[in-house]
Amino acid sequence: MNPKRIIVGVAGGIAAYKACSLVRQLSEAGHDVRVIPTESALRFVGAATFEALSGHPVRTGVFEDVDEVPHVRLGQEADLVVIAPATADLLARAVAGRADDLLTATLLTARCPVLYAPAMHTEMWQHPATQHNVDTLRRRGAVVLEPASGRLTGADSGAGRLPEPEEIATFAQLLLSRHDALPHDLSGVKVLVTAGGTREAIDPVRFIGNRSSGKQGYAVARVAAQRGADVTLIAGNTVGLADPAGAHVLHITSAAQLHEAVTKHAPDAHVLVMAAAVADFRPASVAATKIKKQPGVQEGPTIELVRTDDVLAGVVHQRIDGQLPNMRAVVGFAAETGDANGDVLFHARTKLARKGCDLLVVNAVGEGRAFEVDSNDGWLLGADGTEAALEHGSKTLMASRIVDAIASFLRVGDA
């Protein structure tokens, strides 16, 4: 990889301790990370901790190492600035253009992408002043993440929790990979995403499943939420993935449960992204007790399979029949392998025509590709005949390109 110079700014909030994990993750990814805390932040985490994790000295004021002019040089040389946590006070100072410490002075001189990860109490996050400041920073080109919801300081719970360090690091890497800003352009758009594999029970112990990890669907939900969409994520088997910040997550197990959840939420959605790997077949009957091996019998039991409902085709038919007047875009996924009848794209084009969706994301699978890995590539096919390659990279990068295409499709539809 190409290592980058990253500044991690840490504001004075209880979530400052999570910045330690963020610094470690970015450093272990090979980047040159420098921490600039505020004086208040050092009341939560000592300078020695940040120095040990980053390998750089920690300063807070503009009158230290004056000969190196750090308040100008650090911002000028940075490839990315990440502020985590970004408190209400820090957001307000950034909007006002204050330069009363090393961190705010650095923000004024930085010409690279800037990523803010807010953390504060719900009332502070929802206050009109904070929302105005967030909108202002976004208009200026900064990326301000939606906070997570959950336990806050004390017994309080709600929106305003700092996203997990893994999620912040994911977006940091995305900004470095995209080479452009992550727009906040889906405000008011309701996006329904399905992710992960379904499990079809054979008995109380066994099931029929697949190799989907849910990582790609989660990445789409995560990116769409951070671009302002109102995201509902229906998650099947997702190997313990953390819920994306800003998304409402529903957990299901079987294809029937996924069908029920999509049927319930599709009428309100503007966009459906069917990234889940839904089982095509399920056992015709489920044994009430564990199926046991019979002594002296070599043959195993015969399991009769029946087809599951085609959730994607069902949504398309409902839209054609006028039952989903809000639905403006339907995105399908196809995991394909070539065979004697044709290559991956041949089968994908056939599936696109058969399913009737607006966009189809195509992955070639097998030999460590697509499933159970953190990177991906493929193609994006449009019902209008357009085809575009999706470059190899992280699943978050691929998700951002998919959401780019969805946003473009919606803009064309509005024109």
Q: Is 371 annotated as a binding residue?
A: no
SS3 280: coil
H or E element, residue 155: none
Half-sphere exposure in the Cβ direction for 288 (13 Å, CA): 0
What type of residue sits at position 133? N
Active-site choice (210, 237, 363, 376): 210
d(CA 161, CA 84): 11
d(CA 163, CA 147): 6
d(CA 182, CA 75): 20
The CA–CA distances, whole Å, from 320 to 149, 315, 325, 351 equal: 37, 9, 9, 18
Q: Could you tell me the end-to-end alpha-carbon distance of the chain, in angstroms, rounded to an integer? A: 40
Q: Is 333 annotated as a binding residue?
A: yes
Tell me if 274 sits within 8 A of 258, measured CB to CB. Answer: no
Tell me if 161 sits within 8 A of 149, measured CB to CB. Answer: yes
Q: Is 309 annotated as a binding residue?
A: no
Q: Is 293 annotated as a binding residue?
A: no
What type of residue sits at position 80? L
Q: Is 351 annotated as a binding residue?
A: yes
Clarify whether 376 is annotated catalytic.
Answer: no
d(CA 94, CA 83): 11
What is the DSSP pairing of strand 359-364 with strand 329-336?
parallel
Tell me if 217 sits within 8 A of 192, measured CB to CB. Answer: no
Tell me if 130 sits within 8 A of 97, measured CB to CB. Answer: no
| Active site residues per annotation | 210
Name the binding residues for CTP.
280, 290, 333, 351, 355
